[in-house]
Chains A and B, each alone.
Chain A
Amino acid sequence: MSAQQSASTAVQQSDPLALEKTIASSLKAAFPTAVKTANVVRRRRMRIECTPEATLDVLKYSKNQLGFDHLNYITAVDWGKAFDLIYNLWSIQKMVELEVKTKVAHGEKDELVDFPTSTGVYQAADWFEREVYDLFGIRFVGHPDMRRILLREDWTSHPLRKLYDRRGYPIDPKLGQPPPQTWRINEGKLSLPKKWLEEDPEIEENILTLNFGPHHPSTHGPMMVRARLDGEIIIDADVVIGYLHRNHEKLGENNTWIQLLPYPDRTNYVSPINWEWAYVMAVEELAGVEVPERAEYIRVIMAELDRIQSHLMYLATAGDAVGQLTGFVWGLRDRELVLDLNEMVCGARMLPNYFRFGGVNRDLPKGFAERTRQVVDTVEKHLEEFSYIYEKNPVFLKRFEGVGVLSPQDAVEWGAVGPGLRASGIPFDVRKDDPYSVYDRFDFDVPVGKHGDNLDRFMMRVEEIKQSISIVRQALKDLPSGPYQGKAPTLSIPEGEASSRVETPRGEGSYYVVSNGSPRPVRMKIKSAAFINVYVAKRMMIGQKLQDALVILGTWDPVLGEIDR
């Protein structure tokens, strides 16, 4: 990996866009008629447009010949008469991103549109396609389990289509159906996975289907797991999400750009600042805004503090999952220290709403640097204490060591991101591989695991806290003076589309925004890291014991606000 990394940087030194141009031209050469355009957007990012019929072949070619092994997301944009269906791919080897775009025509009414599934190419497409089906009404033919994923199953409409208003009612009543308006106890019954129904409907005597959730202390929020048990071994599992689907994406189309600033906080409420950054970065790229150097440093400091507190939250909940309540209380105690810093900087303790387009809301207060140094010193000292109740504790190790092993191949194939992917031995970190802001100026390591078990995923968080502490110290030392806010448009953003990539504590988070020059976005897609990580956790549960399944789910650190959006 590192050899290839240095080789690719050597190529890029001569022509920074050489690799991207080679890939774009090879795609164009392989599909001369099907690929209409192949552009290099910026470094490490390409966009191609192809015909709907050839999309699957292009995806297959990209995966097998060009090495785009990681599916980031699938989404759609409704343009009134046709959808843009977008596949976002990433190559872990070459560290480049490819966006495959295709047009799918649809009628005036809210009717399903058929499109071939890509689950045969990327297994990670499973949940992404269910999401597009749920919100847009594109039915993927050949998908193994085409059910709604976020909304209740008695919905008949597809609310992200443009013919619906923000409340989900059709603007022209003839064209669509209203949303369900009641919520009695037995409404919105869940249907079973197709695979389960196809099997013998007379369930064997020794197979039990156990539901837990949506109200359950170990699911980290309203999420439901339906496990089919043979004794205490899970032979198949179905994870039901969507209980916290707060319509961020529809909200994005109904508010102005600046009004949307507080919402990324609420997308992932455990690591709000990193998500603010993802949104702000996407809009800045769209509008071509320059960020002053001091603002970049302040952002790095705040984002790394945010990572520290988010991982401390993980240390707390990891204790909770195995009955180690001391760890729970200690984790939350240390997290308070960082929340106090948030309060010092911007007045709010948990959801700060601190970033602005082109900078931050206000300068760092007096005494912030000293206080921050004290806090990171304290956290560093406490990590030593944590090690005695966690990784040096034999009872804890029994539940974590060697349990829930994820191989690197499966991790990539199922689309895992973040510490969970790195625990399986793949050093993919956006801060290193696609550096944004001023991250290339700091000296830090990307911790990588060896075995891919629960303990490795746990230790990734501990190591990352140490790295973040080091980054915070370096940034405080080099913090330049100057303005903290650059010039930025507030109301109208130029026409176009842009996407950002940020290494959030749970993995790569990204905003994909489309503007037509009006004060409101046409589309705001949030690529959630936790969404795909829960899909991976669901695949990993199969074959495990019931009590281990919850611990495995916990090691992916799910945050339901981010999963359901």
Chain B
Amino acid sequence: MSYLDELRGVVTIIKWGQKNSLWPLAFGIACCAIEMMQTGASKTDAERLGMLMQRASPRQADVMIVAGTVTKKMAPVVRRLYEQMLEPKFVVSMGACATSGGPFRDLYDVVDGVDDVIPVDVYVPGCPPRPEALVYGLMKIQELIDAYYEENQNKPVSGKLEAPSVKPSLSG
């Protein structure tokens, strides 16, 4: 028996809650972190959309925003934080560096994209992306949350919520 069976009627409410009060793990690494702070501050004010910024602990977070260049020294930490987050969890790769290494691609200490380390759901382009772009990316995450719960709701009764699988070829 999955807990979903008992909570079938409640899932709609959980979905509604998670979707409309996204708590991102404020994972500022580099330049994008400054734009991420601006996203939470007065002009863009992502809190209007329920996106309460600045959760410092991965255990309270729904979505991880990887904002900046991931280096080989940082990659094990990123992986550890990802695994500390509770299911269901989503990852936004913010900016060119986290997406592909960006301007720092092909350098000795830079990981060419955070998707070598953890699975990514939404990529936000830009160097750095404007706050509006990040908000748009987070709204895409809301759509993914919808899809995620619908998919799991239609599963057979014995089904359980599964973690998004990590690509097998990864170095981790």
Contacts and interface: CB of A to CB of B under 8 A. Distances in A.
Interface of A: 150-152, 159, 164, 166-168, 179-188, 214-217, 221-222, 242-247, 250-251, 262-263, 266, 269-270, 313, 316, 328-330, 332-333, 335-336, 349-351, 560-561
Contact of B56 (A216, A251, A351): A216
23 contacts: A150-B109, A159-B108, A166-B107, A183-B75, A183-B111, A185-B76, A188-B73, A215-B27, A215-B77, A215-B81, A222-B74, A222-B77, A244-B71, A245-B71, A246-B107, A251-B104, A269-B31, A269-B128, A332-B37, A332-B38, A332-B41, A336-B43, A561-B31
Contact of B171 (A152, A167, A181): A181
A246 B110 contact: yes
A247 B106 CA distance: 10
B30 A269 contact: yes
A182 B103 contact: no
Contacts of A222: 29, 74, 77
A243 B109 contact: no
B26 A167 contact: no
B71 A168 contact: no
B171 A329 contact: no
B124 to A, nearest CB: 15
Nearest to A178: B108
Instruction: In the A-B complex, list the 6 residue pairs whose CB atoms are closest, starting with the nearest.
Output: A168-B108, A183-B75, A332-B41, A269-B31, A247-B107, A333-B42
A246 B69 contact: yes
Contacts of B109: 150-151, 159, 168, 179, 245-247
B107 A182 contact: no
A292 B145 CA distance: 56
Contacts of A159: 108-109
A478 to B, nearest CB: 32
B25 to A, nearest CB: 8
B39 to A, nearest CB: 10
B1 to A, nearest CB: 32
Given A166-B107, A217-B26, A222-B29, A243 B43 contact: no
A217 B54 contact: yes
Given A221-B33, A349-B130, A246 B71 contact: yes
A217 B57 CA distance: 10
A243 B37 contact: no
Q: Which of A151, A182, A245, A250 is the most central at the interface, judged by chain B CB atoms within 10 Å of its CB?
A: A245
B62 interface: no
Contact of A262 (B54, B74, B103): B103
Nearest to A255: B103
Nearest to B130: A349
Max chain B CB contacts within 10 Å: which of A167, A214, A221, A246?
A: A246
A247 B74 contact: no
Contact of A221 (B28, B54, B71, B81): B28
Contacts of A217: 26, 54, 56
A246 B104 contact: yes
B172 interface: yes
A269 B31 CA distance: 5
Interface string B67-102: 011011111110111010000000000000000000
A193 B154 CA distance: 55
A217 B40 CA distance: 14
B107 A244 contact: no
A269 B79 CA distance: 25
Most interface-central of B27, B41, B71, B171 (chain A CB within 10 A)? B71
A184 B77 CA distance: 9
B51 to A, nearest CB: 15
B108 A167 contact: yes
A63 to B, nearest CB: 34
A222 B34 CA distance: 13
Given A179-B109, A336-B43, A351-B128, A244 B30 contact: yes
B73 A166 contact: no
B117 interface: yes
B127 interface: yes
Nearest to B117: A183
Contacts of A266: 30-31, 103
A486 B71 CA distance: 39
Given A244-B69, A560-B30, A263 B103 contact: yes
Contact of A184 (B74, B107, B172): B172
Chain A CB within 10 Å, residue with most, of B29, B79, B130, B172: B29
Nearest to A328: B41
Interface string B38-62: 1001110000000000101000000
A341 B109 CA distance: 35
B34 A270 contact: yes
B31 A333 contact: no
Nearest to B28: A221
A250 B108 CA distance: 9
A561 B56 contact: no
Contacts of B111: 183
A246 B109 CA distance: 7
Contacts of A270: 34
Given A270-B34, A333-B42, A351-B31, A244 B74 contact: yes
